[in-house]
């Protein structure tokens, strides 16, 4: 649960500071932890926060494998970064 709280705190701070989001550096967040610790839950919560603020078009969710990408409704790293 601490993992999720800390991650959401970072996301909320970033979203609330996006008044001039075109001038801001992008937020890069790398989630890595053992299975069952809530990574997918965090990703879905991040999507909801960004959707709420109308910023869901400003983020890309990528994962190392197709299976992991499907779980988060994202793309593979290679596809997402065009490599």
Q: Parallel, antiparallel, or unpaired for β 75-76 and 62-63?
A: parallel
pLDDT for the residue 17: 67
Mean pLDDT of the chain: 80
In this predicted model, which residue has the larger pLDDT, 3 or 45?
45
Give 21's pLDDT tier (boundaries 50, 70, 90): low
**In which band, very low, low, confident or very high, does the pLDDT at 79 lie, cut at 50, 70 and 90?**
very high
Q: How far apart are CA 14 and CA 33, in angstroms?
A: 22
Extents of the domains making up the chain: 2-81
Give the number of C-alpha atoms closer than 13 A to the C-alpha of residue 3, restricted to the C-beta side.
Answer: 15
Cα separation, 52 vs 62, whole angstroms? 21
């Amino acid at each position: 649960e601490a993992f999720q709280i800390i991650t959401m705190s970072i996301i909320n701070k970033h979203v609330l500071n996006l008044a001039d989001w075109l001038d801001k550096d992008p937020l890069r967040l790398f989630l890595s932890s053992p299975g069952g610790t809530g990574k997918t839950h965090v990703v879905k919560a991040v999507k909801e926060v960004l959707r709420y603020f109308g910023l869901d078009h400003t983020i890309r969710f990528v994962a190392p494998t197709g299976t992991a990408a499907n779980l988060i409704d994202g793309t593979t790293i290679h596809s997402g970064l065009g490599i």
